[in-house]
Chains A and B, each alone.
Chain A
């Protein structure tokens, strides 16, 4: 669904990473891990076509991102930004409806079909009771679910979530991860970034571990998230332990 081929990302004159290959298919979840400044956000912006690729290409459903009009990209790939800062008191329904932009004519307002799609997305995330609430009054977790609903309303089958659990309380982190797994089970291709390697064990089928300087490890969580790799990337000692069949990362203080 979403592919990077020999992708270079960064800014003109300042490469952040190069020769990256990845592929996320329907039903797969890729977790991107890496230190602050490791290039996660730069990579995401390049995958989304917000930043020009500095080499190689991004392919979306088999077509090169550069060849697709922006509205078509929006119909295929949804973006959930990190900690959406709500400036204005839009209702959740209005916010989710904005996900329909690529389906609405330039001078038009969303029609009945768009409203139905927005309501379906709200329903899918189980936040129907929030639909009339104002986003500035929501908790961080509720707002994150509303943002995911907006991406679903786009009709996109590939979802890119930038640190979806950042600054959420423990319960909301779990809820968002559960949502990611559920979406993958429904056939979405999901890419998300995180600061907690344990989340990759919980929710991801593959892991991309970025280190500063562009070094990259990629593979199933069990292979990539090892004490040695985490020490190398984050510079701290970590024990990777198995507990009731699930794996967790325990930092050694």
Chain B
């Protein structure tokens, strides 16, 4: 892939994302005319004073706006974390969940729901649970001396994930089937329906704090796809770099999961799609993966709230839409899928 072609693809994807965002604002049970949207943007950003229906303003600022921003943020964060992990674990089947962040977050959230805590506490529980799970996995993996460090991490992640899954199952079994169980199921399916501006304000700094190191290290990330010996012989302190990436990816994923619940598939397949388009070179791959992740989740969430009278869980839609899209890419793009 020539750098120029990569930049062209990125520009194209970014353009599509902007269009999609405008479309997402316009669509919904309360349709907005493009004129109203333009007037609102002019009022809010440039201090103009066009007349806009108050309902339209509420829909855009309080309902659709936060939800759209959350879809963009969560999609980009999951895709970025997945991209980093697939490179680092040298395995295209890896998703951001591999070290237990989702399982930990799920247990944190489910405990919060079980003890009838506020939304804020549930979100904080999810965030803290995700960080704690990965912290434990990393501690176990780092203390295994006689095995391949990558394999140790993945095994520790799988084992701890299973344990956390057992706790979640136990709590679901004990939970009140009329009040708590639906809330738990709903959370585990993932949704952006209830995202408020304050949720966004809470999650965004953490997601950005996770993104910053990945972006800064974007060229060096390539070295993690080599064997440890090769990378070290090229002058890279592999252990420290890997720890930095794990911290960054975990922070992003935990922040995303805390406000959206568990939305699968984005972090696994968007990095593939991006890699098929621009190749594995991380500094070209990361921006495109983030744009595609944001666009994909926004498209899915917009569909989730518009195609049926009731909300469709986006986790179901990601699979329904993502699978054909991925298969189409897989069949039509010549480049090797690594």
Contact = CB atoms under 8 A, between A and B. Distances in A.
Interface of A: 45, 48, 50, 70-75, 77-79, 81, 84-85, 87-91, 94, 98-99, 101-102, 104, 106-110, 132, 134, 136-137, 150, 154
A134 B336 contact: yes
Interface stretch (B95-103, B229-237, B315-323): B229-237
A50 B335 contact: no
B273 to A, nearest CB: 14
B229 A45 contact: yes
Nearest to B229: A50
Given A88-B275, A88-B280, A134-B279, 14 more contacts: A45-B229, A70-B235, A81-B227, A87-B90, A88-B338, A90-B225, A91-B1, A94-B281, A104-B220, A106-B216, A106-B217, A107-B216, A109-B283, A154-B234
B5 to A, nearest CB: 11
Contact of B222 (A77, A85, A90, A150): A90
A90 B281 contact: yes
B87 interface: yes
Nearest to A45: B229
A150 to B, nearest CB: 8
Point out which of B217, B226, B236 has the most chain A C-beta atoms below 10 A from its C-beta: B226
Point out which of B220, B235, B236, B281 has the most chain A C-beta atoms below 10 A from its C-beta: B235
B278 to A, nearest CB: 11
Contact of A84 (B230, B235, B283, B336): B230
Nearest to B232: A50
Nearest to A100: B234
Counting from the closest, the 9 A-B pairs by CB-CB distance are: A74-B235, A102-B235, A88-B280, A79-B233, A71-B235, A109-B219, A107-B216, A101-B234, A89-B336
B232 A98 contact: no
A12 to B, nearest CB: 10
21 contacts: A50-B229, A50-B232, A70-B232, A72-B235, A73-B235, A74-B233, A74-B235, A78-B233, A79-B230, A81-B227, A81-B230, A89-B279, A90-B225, A91-B279, A91-B281, A101-B223, A101-B234, A104-B220, A108-B219, A134-B336, A150-B234
Contacts of B230: 79, 81, 84
B220 A106 contact: yes
A61 to B, nearest CB: 16
Contacts of A104: 219-220
Contacts of B87: 88
B225 A87 contact: yes
A151 to B, nearest CB: 9
Interface residues of B, number: 31
B172 interface: no
Contact of A98 (B91, B217, B223, B227): B223
Contact of A89 (B226, B232, B280): B280
Interface in B206-252: 216-220, 222-223, 225-227, 229-230, 232-237
Contacts of A109: 218-219, 283
B229 A79 contact: yes
B222 A48 contact: no
Nearest to A81: B230
Contacts of B2: 132
A149 B220 CA distance: 19
A107 B8 CA distance: 24
A213 B42 CA distance: 81
Contacts of B226: 98
B114 to A, nearest CB: 42
Contacts of A88: 87, 90, 225, 275, 280, 338
Contacts of A132: 2
Contacts of A72: 235
Contacts of B236: 70, 101
A34 B219 CA distance: 39
A137 B234 contact: no
Contacts of A70: 232, 235-237
Point out which of A71, A75, A98 has the most chain B C-beta atoms below 10 A from its C-beta: A98
Contacts of B220: 101, 104, 106-107
Contact of A74 (B217, B234, B336): B234
A109 B282 CA distance: 11
Given A84-B230, A98-B234, A89 B335 contact: yes
Contacts of A74: 233-235
Contacts of A79: 229-230, 233-234
Contacts of A150: 234
B51 to A, nearest CB: 49
A107 B234 contact: no
Contacts of B225: 87-88, 90
A107 B223 CA distance: 13
